[in-house]
């Protein structure tokens, strides 16, 4: 592990994960003395385990987002959201939200087209998906 000062004067700890990937963590300190205290107490294994636990998965997001939609939307709109988000969940699986990419959306379109759904209907289904993912960014 090494300590390095970055732009803005904040110190970062660089470490190598078990997978061999080099990563950095901000100490949130501008003084070297404080950064060294952070470095002495820093444990890479504990940090990686904690960040893995904090990553929200798609299904855990749905568990919190769908009750929110039920509280603010009409029943017909709720059905549209539920249907579209469940289709995406069956296609992508329970992936971390941070790993969802445009390729997942393209895969969603392809799979839905294979189910003989009209392209215009797929575009209508993508509206609630886009809305939900934008809500997840907040």
**Do 26 and 63 belong to one domain?**
no
Q: Residue 55: its pLDDT value, please?
A: 66
Per-residue pLDDT at 46: 75
Residues 130 and 77 reside in one and the same domain: yes
Residue 50: per-residue pLDDT: 61
Q: In the sheet where 2-5 sits, what is the strand order?
A: 2-5, 11-16, 22-26
What is the number of other CB atoms lying within 10 angstroms of the CB of residue 26?
13
Residue-level pLDDT at 51: 62
Instruction: Indicate if 45 and 100 belong to the same structural domain.
Output: no
As a whole number of Å, the end-to-end CA separation of the chain is 33
Is 7 in the same domain as 75?
no
Same domain, yes or no, for 20 and 75? no
- Evaluate the CA torsion angle 44, 5, 30, 137 in order and state its sign: negative
Please list the rounded mean pLDDT of every run of 10 residues in the chain (138 residues).
Answer: 89 86 89 91 75 71 91 94 92 84 91 91 92 84
Residue 118 domain boundaries: 58-137
For residue 41, what pLDDT is reported? 87
Q: How many domains does the chain have?
A: 2
Assessment of whether the complete model's pTM goes beyond 0.85 = no
132 shares a domain with 67? yes
């Amino acid at each position: 592990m090494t300590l390095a000062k970055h732009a803005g004067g904040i110190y970062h700890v660089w470490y190598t994960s078990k997978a061999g990937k080099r990563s950095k963590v901000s100490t949130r300190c501008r003084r070297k003395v404080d950064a060294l205290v952070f470095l002495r107490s820093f444990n890479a294994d504990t940090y990686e385990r904690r960040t893995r636990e904090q990553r929200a998965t798609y299904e855990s997001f749905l568990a919190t987002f769908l009750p929110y939609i039920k509280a603010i939307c009409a029943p017909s709109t709720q059905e549209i959201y539920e249907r579209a988000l469940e289709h995406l969940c069956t296609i992508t699986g329970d992936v971390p939200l941070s790993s969802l990419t445009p390729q997942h959306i393209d895969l969603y379109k392809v799979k839905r087209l294979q189910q003989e759904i009209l392209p215009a209907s797929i575009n209508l289904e993508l509206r609630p998906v886009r809305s939900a993912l934008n809500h997840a960014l907040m």
